[in-house]
Structure 1
Amino acid sequence: MPVESDEELASILSQETIAVVGCSATPGKDAHEIPKYMREHGYEVVPVNPYAEEVFGREAYDSLAEVEAEIDIVDVFRPSEEVSGIVDEVLERDDVDTVWLQLGIRDAEAGARVEESGRRFVQDHCLKVEHGRLVA
Protein backbone atom coordinates (compact mmCIF):
# COMPACT_ATOMS: atom_id res chain seq x y z
CA MET A 1 0.00 0.00 0.00
CA PRO A 2 1.29 3.46 -0.81
CA VAL A 3 2.37 5.59 2.13
CA GLU A 4 -0.51 7.69 3.47
CA SER A 5 0.19 8.30 7.16
CA ASP A 6 1.48 11.68 8.26
CA GLU A 7 4.10 9.98 10.42
CA GLU A 8 5.59 8.07 7.50
CA LEU A 9 5.35 11.05 5.11
CA ALA A 10 7.22 13.16 7.69
CA SER A 11 9.84 10.42 7.99
CA ILE A 12 10.36 10.49 4.23
CA LEU A 13 10.65 14.28 4.31
CA SER A 14 13.44 14.04 6.90
CA GLN A 15 15.76 12.77 4.16
CA GLU A 16 18.10 15.08 2.23
CA THR A 17 18.58 14.25 -1.45
CA ILE A 18 15.78 14.29 -4.01
CA ALA A 19 16.26 13.31 -7.64
CA VAL A 20 13.47 15.01 -9.60
CA VAL A 21 12.60 13.10 -12.77
CA GLY A 22 11.05 15.57 -15.19
CA CYS A 23 12.49 18.60 -13.37
CA SER A 24 11.81 21.64 -15.55
CA ALA A 25 14.06 24.59 -16.32
CA THR A 26 10.95 26.72 -16.99
CA PRO A 27 9.93 29.00 -14.10
CA GLY A 28 6.22 28.86 -13.39
CA LYS A 29 5.86 25.15 -14.12
CA ASP A 30 5.12 22.93 -11.12
CA ALA A 31 8.08 20.74 -12.14
CA HIS A 32 10.30 23.81 -11.59
CA GLU A 33 8.60 25.59 -8.71
CA ILE A 34 8.20 22.57 -6.41
CA PRO A 35 11.87 21.46 -6.67
CA LYS A 36 12.86 25.13 -6.23
CA TYR A 37 10.80 25.25 -3.01
CA MET A 38 12.46 22.07 -1.76
CA ARG A 39 15.93 23.55 -2.49
CA GLU A 40 14.95 26.70 -0.59
CA HIS A 41 14.09 24.47 2.38
CA GLY A 42 17.49 22.80 2.51
CA TYR A 43 17.07 19.76 0.28
CA GLU A 44 19.67 18.69 -2.25
CA VAL A 45 17.79 18.55 -5.55
CA VAL A 46 19.24 16.57 -8.46
CA PRO A 47 17.49 17.41 -11.76
CA VAL A 48 16.83 14.52 -14.16
CA ASN A 49 15.67 15.75 -17.57
CA PRO A 50 17.21 14.64 -20.88
CA TYR A 51 15.94 17.83 -22.58
CA ALA A 52 17.69 20.29 -20.22
CA GLU A 53 21.40 20.91 -19.85
CA GLU A 54 21.00 22.45 -16.42
CA VAL A 55 18.36 23.40 -13.89
CA PHE A 56 19.02 25.68 -10.89
CA GLY A 57 22.61 26.05 -12.13
CA ARG A 58 23.16 22.30 -11.73
CA GLU A 59 23.79 19.72 -14.41
CA ALA A 60 20.59 17.96 -15.45
CA TYR A 61 21.08 14.23 -15.92
CA ASP A 62 19.53 12.28 -18.78
CA SER A 63 18.47 9.40 -16.51
CA LEU A 64 18.66 8.14 -12.93
CA ALA A 65 21.38 5.71 -14.03
CA GLU A 66 23.69 8.67 -14.76
CA VAL A 67 23.32 10.19 -11.28
CA GLU A 68 26.43 9.31 -9.29
CA ALA A 69 25.31 10.96 -6.05
CA GLU A 70 23.39 9.03 -3.43
CA ILE A 71 19.63 9.55 -3.80
CA ASP A 72 17.10 9.26 -0.98
CA ILE A 73 13.88 10.14 -2.80
CA VAL A 74 12.98 9.94 -6.49
CA ASP A 75 10.25 12.52 -7.13
CA VAL A 76 8.40 11.97 -10.41
CA PHE A 77 6.93 14.73 -12.61
CA ARG A 78 6.19 12.51 -15.62
CA PRO A 79 2.94 11.01 -16.92
CA SER A 80 1.62 7.88 -15.20
CA GLU A 81 2.44 5.82 -18.32
CA GLU A 82 6.15 6.50 -17.77
CA VAL A 83 6.27 5.49 -14.10
CA SER A 84 6.99 1.80 -14.76
CA GLY A 85 10.16 2.61 -16.71
CA ILE A 86 11.30 5.05 -14.02
CA VAL A 87 10.73 2.37 -11.38
CA ASP A 88 12.86 -0.02 -13.47
CA GLU A 89 15.71 2.52 -13.13
CA VAL A 90 15.09 2.92 -9.39
CA LEU A 91 15.27 -0.85 -8.86
CA GLU A 92 18.73 -0.87 -10.44
CA ARG A 93 19.97 1.38 -7.62
CA ASP A 94 20.67 0.43 -4.01
CA ASP A 95 20.41 3.91 -2.50
CA VAL A 96 16.84 5.04 -3.22
CA ASP A 97 14.52 4.74 -0.21
CA THR A 98 11.33 6.25 -1.66
CA VAL A 99 9.60 6.76 -4.99
CA TRP A 100 7.25 9.75 -4.79
CA LEU A 101 4.69 10.43 -7.55
CA GLN A 102 3.35 13.98 -7.70
CA LEU A 103 -0.34 14.92 -7.73
CA GLY A 104 -2.31 13.20 -10.47
CA ILE A 105 0.38 10.57 -11.11
CA ARG A 106 -0.51 6.98 -10.23
CA ASP A 107 0.70 3.47 -11.04
CA ALA A 108 -0.34 0.77 -8.56
CA GLU A 109 1.58 -1.99 -10.34
CA ALA A 110 4.84 -0.02 -10.33
CA GLY A 111 4.16 0.90 -6.70
CA ALA A 112 3.82 -2.76 -5.77
CA ARG A 113 7.24 -3.44 -7.35
CA VAL A 114 8.75 -0.58 -5.34
CA GLU A 115 7.26 -1.94 -2.12
CA GLU A 116 8.32 -5.51 -2.90
CA SER A 117 11.90 -4.23 -3.11
CA GLY A 118 11.61 -2.96 0.48
CA ARG A 119 11.25 0.71 -0.44
CA ARG A 120 8.51 3.21 0.23
CA PHE A 121 6.05 4.41 -2.39
CA VAL A 122 3.95 7.60 -2.39
CA GLN A 123 1.54 8.45 -5.18
CA ASP A 124 -0.76 11.34 -6.01
CA HIS A 125 0.73 13.63 -3.33
CA CYS A 126 2.51 16.96 -3.75
CA LEU A 127 5.94 17.08 -2.13
CA LYS A 128 5.63 20.84 -1.46
CA VAL A 129 2.14 20.57 0.05
CA GLU A 130 3.13 17.72 2.35
CA HIS A 131 6.36 19.48 3.36
CA GLY A 132 4.45 22.67 4.16
CA ARG A 133 1.83 20.75 6.12
CA LEU A 134 4.14 18.43 8.06
CA VAL A 135 7.59 20.00 8.28
CA ALA A 136 7.75 23.74 7.53
Structure 2
Amino acid sequence: MAFENPSRDEIKNILQNANTIAVVGLSEKPDRTSYMVSEAMQNKGYRIIPVNPNADHILGEKCYPSLKDIPEPVDIVNVFRRSEYCAEVAREAAEIGAKVIWLQLGIRSDEVAQIAEEHGMTAIMDRCIKVEDSVLFPNGRNNH
Protein backbone atom coordinates (compact mmCIF):
# COMPACT_ATOMS: atom_id res chain seq x y z
CA MET A 1 0.00 0.00 0.00
CA ALA A 2 1.28 3.48 -0.85
CA PHE A 3 2.49 5.62 2.03
CA GLU A 4 0.23 8.42 3.22
CA ASN A 5 1.07 11.05 5.79
CA PRO A 6 -1.13 11.20 8.88
CA SER A 7 -4.13 13.54 8.70
CA ARG A 8 -3.81 17.16 9.79
CA ASP A 9 -5.67 16.26 13.00
CA GLU A 10 -3.19 13.47 13.72
CA ILE A 11 -0.23 15.78 13.03
CA LYS A 12 -1.78 18.39 15.34
CA ASN A 13 -2.09 15.76 18.08
CA ILE A 14 1.54 14.66 17.54
CA LEU A 15 2.85 18.22 17.81
CA GLN A 16 0.57 19.07 20.76
CA ASN A 17 1.98 16.15 22.74
CA ALA A 18 5.62 16.43 21.68
CA ASN A 19 8.21 18.10 23.85
CA THR A 20 11.57 16.81 22.62
CA ILE A 21 12.66 16.89 19.00
CA ALA A 22 16.00 15.35 18.04
CA VAL A 23 17.19 16.99 14.82
CA VAL A 24 19.47 14.77 12.73
CA GLY A 25 21.61 16.80 10.38
CA LEU A 26 21.17 20.09 12.26
CA SER A 27 23.74 22.52 10.90
CA GLU A 28 25.53 25.03 13.09
CA LYS A 29 25.31 27.55 10.22
CA PRO A 30 22.46 30.04 10.82
CA ASP A 31 21.72 30.37 7.09
CA ARG A 32 20.86 26.67 6.70
CA THR A 33 17.26 25.51 6.63
CA SER A 34 17.85 22.97 9.42
CA TYR A 35 19.09 25.75 11.72
CA MET A 36 16.27 28.17 10.86
CA VAL A 37 13.55 25.53 11.29
CA SER A 38 15.03 24.24 14.56
CA GLU A 39 15.48 27.74 15.96
CA ALA A 40 11.84 28.58 15.13
CA MET A 41 10.64 25.36 16.80
CA GLN A 42 12.81 26.09 19.84
CA ASN A 43 11.27 29.57 20.03
CA LYS A 44 7.81 27.94 19.99
CA GLY A 45 8.70 25.95 23.11
CA TYR A 46 9.96 22.62 21.81
CA ARG A 47 13.18 21.20 23.22
CA ILE A 48 15.63 20.75 20.35
CA ILE A 49 18.39 18.15 20.67
CA PRO A 50 20.97 18.52 17.89
CA VAL A 51 22.41 15.36 16.35
CA ASN A 52 25.61 16.35 14.60
CA PRO A 53 28.91 14.52 15.13
CA ASN A 54 30.89 17.58 14.01
CA ALA A 55 29.64 20.14 16.54
CA ASP A 56 29.63 20.58 20.34
CA HIS A 57 26.67 22.91 20.77
CA ILE A 58 24.00 24.29 18.43
CA LEU A 59 21.22 26.68 19.52
CA GLY A 60 22.58 26.51 23.06
CA GLU A 61 22.01 22.75 23.27
CA LYS A 62 24.62 20.00 23.57
CA CYS A 63 25.10 18.06 20.34
CA TYR A 64 25.16 14.29 20.20
CA PRO A 65 26.98 12.26 17.55
CA SER A 66 24.01 9.91 17.08
CA LEU A 67 20.48 9.32 18.33
CA LYS A 68 21.73 6.44 20.50
CA ASP A 69 23.93 8.88 22.44
CA ILE A 70 20.99 11.01 23.63
CA PRO A 71 20.47 10.24 27.34
CA GLU A 72 16.74 11.07 27.48
CA PRO A 73 13.53 10.10 25.66
CA VAL A 74 12.83 11.70 22.29
CA ASP A 75 9.32 12.28 20.93
CA ILE A 76 10.09 13.25 17.33
CA VAL A 77 13.17 12.59 15.20
CA ASN A 78 13.28 15.34 12.56
CA VAL A 79 15.64 14.42 9.72
CA PHE A 80 17.56 16.87 7.54
CA ARG A 81 19.50 14.32 5.51
CA ARG A 82 19.27 13.05 1.96
CA SER A 83 16.83 10.19 1.48
CA GLU A 84 19.55 7.53 1.09
CA TYR A 85 20.60 8.13 4.73
CA CYS A 86 17.11 8.16 6.19
CA ALA A 87 16.54 4.40 6.62
CA GLU A 88 19.57 4.17 8.90
CA VAL A 89 18.22 7.11 10.93
CA ALA A 90 14.78 5.45 11.11
CA ARG A 91 16.31 2.24 12.46
CA GLU A 92 18.16 4.24 15.12
CA ALA A 93 14.96 6.17 15.95
CA ALA A 94 13.18 2.83 16.49
CA GLU A 95 16.03 1.63 18.74
CA ILE A 96 15.68 4.66 21.03
CA GLY A 97 11.88 4.37 21.16
CA ALA A 98 10.99 7.57 19.29
CA LYS A 99 7.30 7.86 18.47
CA VAL A 100 7.66 9.81 15.22
CA ILE A 101 10.16 9.98 12.36
CA TRP A 102 9.73 13.20 10.37
CA LEU A 103 11.45 13.70 7.02
CA GLN A 104 11.67 17.29 5.91
CA LEU A 105 10.23 18.85 2.76
CA GLY A 106 11.37 17.12 -0.40
CA ILE A 107 12.44 13.90 1.34
CA ARG A 108 10.60 10.58 0.99
CA SER A 109 11.68 7.01 1.61
CA ASP A 110 9.62 3.85 1.22
CA GLU A 111 12.15 2.07 3.42
CA VAL A 112 11.57 4.60 6.22
CA ALA A 113 7.80 4.06 5.93
CA GLN A 114 8.32 0.30 6.24
CA ILE A 115 10.70 0.61 9.22
CA ALA A 116 8.28 2.98 10.97
CA GLU A 117 5.37 0.61 10.43
CA GLU A 118 7.34 -2.40 11.69
CA HIS A 119 8.32 -0.55 14.88
CA GLY A 120 5.05 1.24 15.66
CA MET A 121 6.39 4.68 14.80
CA THR A 122 4.48 7.31 12.89
CA ALA A 123 6.25 8.47 9.71
CA ILE A 124 5.73 11.94 8.27
CA MET A 125 7.48 12.73 5.00
CA ASP A 126 7.96 15.62 2.62
CA ARG A 127 6.54 18.10 5.13
CA CYS A 128 8.18 20.96 7.02
CA ILE A 129 7.64 20.65 10.77
CA LYS A 130 7.85 24.43 11.19
CA VAL A 131 5.17 25.05 8.55
CA GLU A 132 2.87 22.40 10.06
CA ASP A 133 3.33 23.88 13.53
CA SER A 134 2.66 27.42 12.27
CA VAL A 135 -0.51 26.37 10.41
CA LEU A 136 -1.86 24.22 13.25
CA PHE A 137 -0.83 26.49 16.13
CA PRO A 138 -0.70 30.07 14.76
CA ASN A 139 -0.66 31.47 18.31
CA GLY A 140 1.56 28.74 19.79
CA ARG A 141 0.67 25.35 21.25
CA ASN A 142 -0.37 26.71 24.62
CA ASN A 143 -2.72 29.35 23.22
CA HIS A 144 -5.02 27.34 20.99
1:22 aligns to 2:25 (yes or no): yes
Alignment of 1:1-136 (within 5 A): 1-14=3-16, 15-94=18-97, 96-136=98-138
| Percent identity (aligned) | 38
Deviations 1:59-86 (A, max 9, x none): 1100000001110000000000000110
TM-score by length of 2: 0.90
Give structure 1 regions of 4+ aligned residues with deviation exceeding 2 angstroms. 1-4
Give unmatched runs, 5+ long, in structure 1: none
Greater length-normalized contact order (CA 8 Å, ≥ 6 residues apart): 1
Which residue identity does 2:109 align to in structure 1? D
Unaligned runs of 5+ in 2: 139-144
* Length-normalised TM-score, structure 1: 0.95
Tell me the distance in 2 between the aligned counterparts of 1:121 and 1:30: 21
Q: Distance in 1 between matches of 2:40 and 2:92?
A: 25
Of residues 71-80 and 52-61 in structure 1, the stretch that sits farther from structure 2 once superposed is 52-61
Provide the aligned C-alpha RMSD in A: 1.0
